[in-house]
């Protein structure tokens, strides 16, 4: 027997079946939100994984196309690797869950979410977030939950919770907030330049709704929750830690880590590690494998103490001070647009490529609103950027996540397709990294788009602030522009991108059990101050506005409108006509169902030639119109001319010349280009043309 629990959530019914499916998992929830169905499970290994110094959590979000009544494309006809949306959803599920597991827990844990049915008005992503929280909370896996999540939109100035498909289409905000019983633990947002105060209002409206969901989950846990199992605690032995600190001394560790050069710090830590290896190889060889985690703990305590108590940052900056910034454009001579943005030891070069609308990305997923993507942002993080050596295996989840964040930040300022009929791709190459590469990629991408002549509405800049907390909620310090070490040892990476007008994207990662409203408000307004400085003092002096036109190596696109009923004439049977135009002119042609025709090419003359051919094909021949055609056939009674592929007409022998013509071949030869005037319809209803009457 199983039991169902239900609540009304944003006007729809959320139902959780416990004990119905996946009985061998540590915890399982059969989730229904409207007609969306997700199976969420939590499983853990019996023992810790040996030889690791981190918590091995895996989160999977599996999209099955049967959920929306589709058969997968391709030859194999089954789902393959995870889609970009699935990877991003896994990351959003992971971020609020990970901090709530014990810090010394080393057992493998997998949270799996299988999307089995989709109601487009009830987000499967949200359902999976709730499902993972419930499955883990009722399991025997140690977990300091539950959490709850809410999605927020804004339609006509009003907040809407867990918006429907129609509301998502109109919304200027896409916000997801996860909460514990006391605090906000995760924020993910995309917005169309939403002011900071409106964003804060939306965050805490979601937090309030989350409390109702948490109360609902607690009723399930109270009835079906398992006792949490014991586990082997993986922590540094106290004797080792005490001896190490006494031998190295806190002063020496402070001197080792407090430098603004990452390589120097790493070398200092290597020297300390060598000293400790030498010290223990004879007396305590069993401690040698534990040194990495012990030194990490010592280093972390040193950095956190100096920041929190002495307001001293590792590189000597003030708490609100941004690292040295630099920006430049046109780094690469023949690409469509390029720019480089440098922040301390973080350096990102972004390249913009423009293409015809036919090159937009087609999406084959479970969201019916997301079928194509006109703007694509890709982010690459090679090992050399952090001084390491390892082969590239393609983008991982982190790279995909950072690329999506920058994409989300820039979409709100891109020109509409009608104004700028291009597919747009930006690629951010991280050349050097010491923290905040995702925000550097946003700045570099903005500059690159402007250099490429993309008429973006406003410049976008991104900045990240960090946090170090003490024993109480009031004991904390917020750091502007965190570098790698501060991110590594700190409690928060709060990334915010936006324009002068407002926020376009947020992503918040934390390692503690949530943030108070005071911390969130201060962090958001701190990023606004930093963003304003970057936009005004660094980016604007580099390039103040988008270039008035695309560059010489960029494709040129001209759009015209034709009668939609004439699309078939332009395409021709089996594409014969349009392919002939492309072959003659070397352009690319895209036609939409509403009669919008985009002609793309590098050479303006070729574009104009193609447009003229298309306009000729769709023209209704009327008396007095002048055309130019090529002689393609000669008969005794006249000549046939081709004005455009698939568009032909005839000139009678009597209309070739003002002089008497005995034979057509005496005046015309195959391939001749001649001007003609339309004479209208003859007695049989055919269109006739004249060469001799051209004025």
Q: Which residues are annotated as a binding site?
A: 487, 493
DSSP assignment, residue 122? B
CA 649/CA 643 separation, integer angstroms: 8
Give the integer Cα–Cα distance in Å for 204 and 199: 9
CA dihedral 160, 164, 167, 171 (to 10 degrees): 60
Chain mean position to CA 658: 68
**Residue 426 host element (H or E):** strand 423-432
Each as own residue / partner, the long-range contacts of residues 64-67 (CB below 8 Å, 24 or more positions apart, any chain) are 64/114, 64/115, 64/116, 64/366, 65/364, 65/366, 66/116, 67/37, 67/115, 67/116, 67/117, 67/118, 67/124, 67/366
Q: At what angle do helices 576-585 and 604-618 cross, to 10 degrees?
A: 150
For 483, the 3-state DSSP assignment is: coil
Q: How many CB atoms lie within 10 A of CB 98?
A: 18
Strand partners, 25: none
Reduced to 3 states (helix: H, G, I; strand: E, B; else coil), residue 28 is strand
Q: Which residue has the tokens 């310090």?
A: 477
Read out DSSP for 227-290? PPPP-------HHHHHHHHHHH-HHHHHHHH--S-HHHHHHHHHHHHHHHHHHHHHH-GGGGGG
Q: Per this entry, what is the length of the chain?
A: 695
Q: Report residue 246: phi and psi, to 5°.
A: -65, -35
Contacts for 539 with CB less than 8 Å, ≥ 6 apart: 327, 443, 446, 447, 459, 461
| Structure token pair of residue 395 | 């983008």
Nearest to 642 by CA among 584, 600, 694: 584
Strands 596-601 and 556-561, sheet pairing = antiparallel
Specify burial of residue 12 (Cβ count, 10 A radius: 0-12, 13-18, 19+): middle
The CB density around residue 573, as the number of other CB atoms within 10 Å, is 8
| Residues of each annotated binding site for Mg(2+) | 487, 493
The two three-digit tokens of residue 403, written as one number:
């690329």
- CA angle (650, 652, 658) in 5-degree steps: 125
How far, in Å, CA of 451 to CA of 548, rounded? 10
Orientation angle between helical segments 250-257 and 262-283, nearest 10 degrees = 150
User: How far apart (Å, rounded) are the C-alpha atoms in residues 39 and 465?
Assistant: 36
DSSP state at residue 19:
S
Tokens 């993080």, residue located: 381
Non-local (6+) Cβ contacts of 492 within 8 A are 465, 466, 467, 508, 509, 510, 511, 512, 515, 523
For the chain, the 3-state helix, strand and coil shares in percent, each to the nearest 5, are 35, 30, 35
Q: What is the DSSP letter of 689?
A: E
């Amino acid at each position: 027997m199983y039991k169902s629990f239900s609540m009304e959530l944003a006007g729809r019914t959320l139902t959780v079946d416990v004990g119905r499916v996946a009985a061998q998992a540590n915890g399982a929830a059969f989730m229904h939100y409207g007609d969306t169905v997700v199976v969420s499970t939590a499983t853990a290994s019996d023992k810790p994984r040996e030889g690791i110094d981190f918590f091995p959590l895996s989160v999977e979000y599996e999209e099955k196309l049967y959920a929306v009544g589709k058969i997968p494309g391709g030859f194999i006809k089954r789902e393959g690797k995870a889609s970009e949306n699935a990877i991003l959803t896994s990351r959003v599920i992971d971020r609020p869950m990970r901090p709530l597991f014990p810090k010394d827990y080393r057992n493998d844990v997998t949270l799996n979410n299988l999307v089995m049915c989709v109601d487009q008005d009830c987000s499967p992503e949200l359902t999976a977030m709730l499902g993972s929280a419930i499955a883990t909370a009722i399991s025997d896996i140690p977990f300091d939950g539950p959490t709850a999540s809410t999605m927020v939109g804004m339609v006509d100035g009003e907040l809407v919770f867990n918006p429907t498909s129609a509301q998502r289409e109109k919304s200027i905000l896409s916000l997801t907030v996860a909460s514990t019983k006391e605090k906000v633990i995760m924020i993910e947002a995309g917005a169309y330049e939403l002011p900071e105060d409106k964003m804060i209002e939306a965050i805490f409206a979601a937090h309030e709704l989350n409390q109702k969901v948490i109360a609902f989950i607690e009723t399930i846990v109270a009835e079906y929750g398992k006792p949490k199992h014991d586990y082997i605690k993986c922590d540094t032995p106290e004797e080792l830690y005490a001896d190490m600190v006494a031998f190295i001394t806190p002063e020496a560790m402070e001197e080792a880590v407090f430098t603004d050069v990452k390589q120097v710090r790493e070398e200092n830590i290597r020297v300390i590690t060598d000293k400790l290896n030498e010290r223990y190889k004879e007396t305590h060889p069993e401690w040698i494998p534990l040194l990495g985690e012990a030194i990490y703990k010592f280093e972390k305590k040193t950095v956190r103490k100096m920041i929190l108590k002495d307001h001293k940052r590792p590189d000597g900056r003030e708490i609100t001070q941004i690292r040295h910034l630099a920006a430049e454009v046109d780094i690469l001579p023949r690409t469509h647009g390029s720019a480089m943005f440098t922040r301390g030891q973080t350096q990102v070069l972004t390249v913009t490529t423009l293409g015809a609308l036919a090159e937009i990305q087609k999406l084959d997923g479970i969201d019916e609103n997301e079928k194509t993507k006109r703007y694509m942002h890709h982010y690459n993080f090679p090992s050399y950027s952090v001084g390491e050596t390892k082969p590239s295996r393609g983008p991982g989840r982190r790279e995909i996540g950072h690329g999506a964040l920058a994409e989300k930040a820039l979409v709100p300022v891109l020109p509409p397709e009608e104004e700028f009929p291009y597919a747009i791709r930006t690629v951010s190459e991280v050349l050097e990294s010491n923290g905040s590469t995702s925000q550097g990629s946003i700045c570099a991408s903005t500059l690159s788009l402007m250099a490429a002549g993309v008429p973006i509405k406003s410049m976008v800049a991104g900045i990240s602030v960090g946090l170090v907390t003490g024993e109480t909620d009031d004991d904390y310090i917020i750091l502007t522009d965190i570098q790698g070490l501060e991110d590594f040892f700190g409690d928060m990476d709060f990334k915010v991108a936006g324009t002068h007008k407002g926020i376009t994207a947020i992503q918040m990662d934390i390692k503690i059990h949530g943030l108070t409203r005071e911390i969130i408000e201060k962090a958001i307004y701190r990023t606004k101050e930093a963003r304003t400085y970057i936009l005004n003092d660094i980016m604007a002096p580099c390039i103040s506005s988008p270039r008035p036109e695309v560059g010489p190596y960029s494709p040129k696109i001209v759009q015209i409108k034709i009668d939609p009923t004439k699309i078939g004439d332009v395409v021709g049977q089996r594409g014969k006509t349009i392919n002939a135009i492309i072959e003659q002119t070397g352009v690319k042609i895209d036609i939409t169902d509403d009669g919008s025709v985009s002609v793309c090419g590098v050479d303006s003359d070729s574009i104009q030639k193609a447009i003229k051919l298309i306009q000729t094909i769709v023209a209704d021949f009327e008396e007095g119109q002048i055309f130019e055609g090529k002689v393609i056939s000669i008969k005794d009674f006249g000549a046939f001319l081709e004005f455009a592929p698939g568009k032909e007409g005839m000139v009678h022998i009597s209309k070739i010349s003002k002089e008497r013509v005995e034979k057509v071949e005496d005046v015309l030869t195959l391939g001749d280009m001649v001007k003609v005037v339309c004479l209208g319809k003859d007695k049989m209803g055919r269109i006739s043309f004249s060469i001799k009457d051209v004025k």
